[in-house]
């Protein structure tokens, strides 16, 4: 049976309300040992939409599932056409104030690590070093036949050569780097095979309906065990992929703090949910802690 993505989650009427007071987040960070769990909401200020927030992509777009991708050449053609076009925009995204604040907290020894559900690489681009990419990264591709990993940029060049002049106008971009194209716009887009064995190439990301590698989950669970608290940034926690770590922290008696404008599936386990914009909130927290945050200006010389 094919698995479809979890599109929505409805909070109960007695779900804990959010607050506009970021002091508990500052207090947790000042104590150190904070493990960050970030979601798509952290990257919205970089121009990448989230899945389930206001105007989220799931209101208009159903992401590719692993079962569909592996089930037929037509689905793969549709995916790679949309993803190839989206990559041009996705690859130009830059870290925002939220990413830079997280990197600053790490530099000052306040974090136990970062687990991100995002596939955009923006944490690393902002300077974070200890990042676990729970769902992989769009920067890499993997062959489903021989297991060879490759560069997405190299694949992009091969797709450009195979599809000269392919430049339809997309209706939008999605959190997984997928552009909104009609079937007519996809047309007869040519998919290229693995350069090593001729097998099927897939982005090195966890699709909906695909399991996160067990060793990665085990590593994340060990980070939760070692952390003093868990700070969730920009995730609705609708799917178990991230919610499991919130539940683990809560069951171990570790404080869980959430910064997300909308209610999340993890609110009942949290000490507080700060319902404010991420970039401004994390910048304010950094200022209170005396932690300087880069302004994002590229350095030269």
Residues with Cβ within 8 Å of residue 237, at least 6 apart in sequence: 39, 243, 246, 264, 265, 266
Q: CA-CA-CA-CA torsion for 40, 43, 45, 49, nearest 10 degrees?
A: -50
Which of 84, 99, 135, 269 does the annotation list as catalytic?
A: 135
Query: Was 47 annotated as part of a binding site?
Result: yes
| SS3 assignment for 59-110 | HCCCCCEHHHHHHCHHHHHHHHHHHHHHHHHHCCCCCCHHHHHHHHHHHCCC
Query: Was 220 annotated as part of a binding site?
Result: no
The total of other beta-carbon atoms located within 10 Å of residue 204's CB is 18
Query: Was 51 annotated as part of a binding site?
Result: yes
Query: Was 86 annotated as part of a binding site?
Result: no
Instruction: Evaluate whether 39 touches 236 at the Cβ level (below 8 Å).
Output: yes
Instruction: Evaluate whether 265 touches 39 at the Cβ level (below 8 Å).
Output: no
Query: Was 41 annotated as part of a binding site?
Result: yes
- Is residue 135 flagged as an active site residue? yes
How far apart (Å, rounded) are the C-alpha atoms in residues 246 and 252? 10
Query: Was 188 annotated as part of a binding site?
Result: no
Query: Was 56 annotated as part of a binding site?
Result: yes
Query: Was 43 annotated as part of a binding site?
Result: yes
Query: Was 52 annotated as part of a binding site?
Result: yes
Query: Was 78 annotated as part of a binding site?
Result: no
The total of other beta-carbon atoms located within 10 Å of residue 22's CB is 19
Q: Beta partners for 258?
A: 232, 273
* Angle at alpha carbon of residue 116, lines to 300 and 15, rounded to 5°: 130
Query: Was 234 annotated as part of a binding site?
Result: yes
Query: Was 83 annotated as part of a binding site?
Result: no
Query: Was 55 annotated as part of a binding site?
Result: yes
Binding site for Zn(2+), by residue number, is 143, 146, 194, 197
Catalytic residue list: 135
Binding site, by residue number, is 39-59, 117-120, 143, 146, 194, 197, 234-236, 278
Binding site for NAD(+), by residue number, is 39-59, 117-120, 234-236, 278
């Amino acid at each position: 049976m094919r698995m479809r993505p979890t599109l929505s989650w409805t909070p109960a009427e007695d779900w804990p309300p959010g607050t506009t007071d970021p002091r508990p987040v500052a207090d947790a960070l000042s104590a150190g040992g904070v493990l960050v769990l970030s979601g798509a909401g952290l990257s919205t200020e970089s121009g990448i939409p989230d899945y389930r927030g206001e105007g989220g992509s799931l209101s208009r777009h159903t992401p590719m599932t692993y079962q569909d991708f592996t089930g037929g050449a037509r689905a793969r053609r549709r995916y790679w056409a949309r993803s190839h076009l989206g990559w041009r925009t996705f690859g130009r995204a830059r870290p925002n104030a939220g990413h830079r604040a997280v990197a600053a907290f790490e530099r000052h020894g306040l974090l136990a690590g970062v687990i991100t559900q995002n596939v955009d690489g923006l944490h690393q681009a902002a300077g974070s070093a200890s990042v676990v990419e729970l769902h992989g990264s769009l920067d890499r591709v993997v062959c489903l036949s021989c297991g060879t990993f490759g560069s997405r940029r190299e694949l992009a060049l091969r797709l450009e050569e195979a599809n000269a002049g392919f430049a339809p106008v997309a209706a939008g971009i999605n959190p997984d780097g997928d552009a909104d194209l009609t079937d007519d716009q996809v047309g007869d887009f040519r998919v290229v095979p693995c350069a090593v064995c001729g097998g099927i190439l897939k982005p090195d990301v966890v699709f909906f309906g695909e399991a996160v590698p067990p060793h990665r989950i085990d590593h994340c669970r060990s980070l939760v065990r070692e952390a003093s608290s868990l700070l969730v940034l920009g995730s609705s926690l609708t799917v178990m992929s991230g919610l499991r770590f919130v539940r683990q922290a809560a069951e171990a008696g570790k404080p869980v703090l959430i910064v997300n404008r909308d209610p999340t599936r993890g609110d009942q386990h949290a000490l507080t949910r700060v319902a404010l914009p991420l970039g401004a909130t994390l910048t304010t927290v950094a200022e209170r802690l005396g932690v300087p945050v880069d302004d994002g200006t590229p350095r030269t010389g």
